[in-house]
Amino acid sequence: MPYALDETHDPNRASWIESAQGHSEFPIQNLPLGIFSHGACGPRPGVAIGDSIFDIAAALEADLFTGEARRAAEAAGAGAGALNHLLALDAAPRRALRRRVSSLLAADGPARAQIESMRSRLIHDAAACTLHLPVAIGAYTDFFAGIEHAANGGRRRGQNPPLAPNYKYVPVAYHSRASSIRPAPAQIRRPHGQRLLGDSQVPQFGSCTKLDFELELGIWIGPGNALGEPIPIGCAGAHVAGLGLLNDWSARDIQRWESAPLGPFLSKNFGTTISPWIVTLDALTPFRIAQPPRPAGDPAPLGYLWDDDDQRSGAFDIDLEVLISTEAMRAKGLAAQRLALSNTRHLYWTLAQMVAHHTCGGCNLAAGDLFGSGTISASEPSGYGSMAELSYDGTKPVELASGETRAFLEDGDEIVFRAHARRAGYVSIGFGECRGAVVA
């Protein structure tokens, strides 16, 4: 069974890092991977633990790893401030590293006294560190697997039925832009481009009037495949190393004008924000669920997209939340306001199906490639994952606690995504924030 639970998931395991106990994001059961810098230290691999960061490079220098865990730690440090070499490894060494870090940080770990004596070397206050992109992203593909979002878009365009005929057969995606992906917290400059204003059929060039967010999972690719060698669905899940949150900022007016017939271009490539920690699929093992059954009448996936194990345990139960904070809200001391609450159960395709489809024609994936899942909206309006859906393309602006309304995003607005995986009998884990602010 590839998705075995082990001692790292034990809900009774506590850490000697005090802030990890009851931490909403990074208890010892999580241990997400990232790249951070601190003081004079350049970008280096680390693991989030409570309000701190465990320094993998320093632990390697202190000779705290052996065997497969050492191989993984060395790979983590081999990428000059990027985790690509670690993600390229098989699951076994990555899991060995997780088990060793968990043991080193465990309150009852055998090496606790030794590790605690090196605390100042190994443990950094996260608030004093800078987080970077966790990998050098070679390629970025954005899927469209959130079926509620896809259907809402079809309804806005007057399509009946709202989903295109290919939707339930093809994990639809487009190749997007890797160069403009930045880690949260990020600033997004309002883009300029061609768009139609009012009823005009002639475009004007100017700043975006319908700036939007899209609530998505970021999917970090592991080992990958050689060109011309598809990844079969049965082993496709093993090619995903971890997950994060991804905001696919979107310029709806530019998108509407430019997208026919080839799809989005400038409306999507001006900036993408990701949460900086890679939550490993090992950490998410307790939160695996069966892929929700397709509604009666939907076609079964074609054979190259069907695997019994993937259907049994290839989906995840992760709550997703969107919050907004406007300039006026901050001036009034108002807390960020929730715009939406959704869940990864609303994905029509599993991660493995995305990988199998992406490679079925021979396209090669490489360690550190990134997928976006597509916007994950719930079926009810309180779970819509974009302003275009929440405001019905601006026709029903959202009312905020400050007395303001929002059809689309305004300069000064901050959008925050959060994600938490919860299951009775396990310690819940979070993804950290994916925060981005719109600037002129």
Query: Where in the sequence numbering do the catalytic residues fall?
Result: 149
Cα four-point dihedral sign 285, 290, 294, 299? positive
112: number of Cβ within 10 Å? 16
Residue closer to Ca ion (CB basis): 54 or 417: 417
DSSP state of 17: S
Nearer to Ca ion, 249 or 277 (CB): 249
Taking the complex as a whole, the smallest distance from the CB of residue 327 to Ca ion amounts, in Å, to 26
Neighbours of 360 (CB within 10 A): 17
Q: Within 47-188, where are the H helices?
A: 56-61, 67-77, 84-88, 91-105, 112-117, 119-122, 147-156
User: Between 142 and 321, whose beta carbon lies closer to Ca ion?
Assistant: 142
Residue 221: CB minimum distance to Ca ion, A: 17
Count Cβ neighbours within 10 Å for each residue of 146-157 and write b for 16 or more, e otherwise.
Answer: bbbbbbbbbebe
Bond into 161 cis (ω within 30): yes
SS3 351: helix
Chain residues binding Ca ion by CB under 5 A are 142, 214, 248
User: How near is the Cβ of 50 to Ca ion at its closest, in Å?
Assistant: 32
Q: Tell me the residue number closest to Ca ion, measured at CB.
A: 248
Under DSSP, is residue 241 helix (H, G, I), strand (E, B) or coil?
strand
- Least distance CB 151 / Ca ion (angstroms): 15
Closest listed residue to residue 244, CA positions, set 223, 215, 266, 265: 215
Cβ atoms within 10 Å of 353's Cβ, excluding its own: 26
Nearer to Ca ion, 68 or 142 (CB): 142
Rounded to a whole number of angstroms, the minimum distance from the CB of residue 375 to Ca ion is: 5
- Residue closer to Ca ion (CB basis): 352 or 388: 388
**With respect to Ca ion, which residue has the nearer C-beta, 262 or 296?**
262
Q: State the Cα angle at 20 between 15 and 25, rounded to 5°.
A: 135
How many alpha carbons lie under 13 Å from residue 375 in its C-beta half-sphere? 25
CA distance 231 to 361: 10
Looking at beta carbons only, is 248 or 307 nearer to Ca ion? 248
Q: Kindly state the tokens that stand for 270.
A: 């001006």
The torsion angle over the Cα atoms of residues 358, 363, 366 and 369, rounded to 10 degrees, is -40
Q: Look up residue 169 and give its two tokens.
A: 């057969």
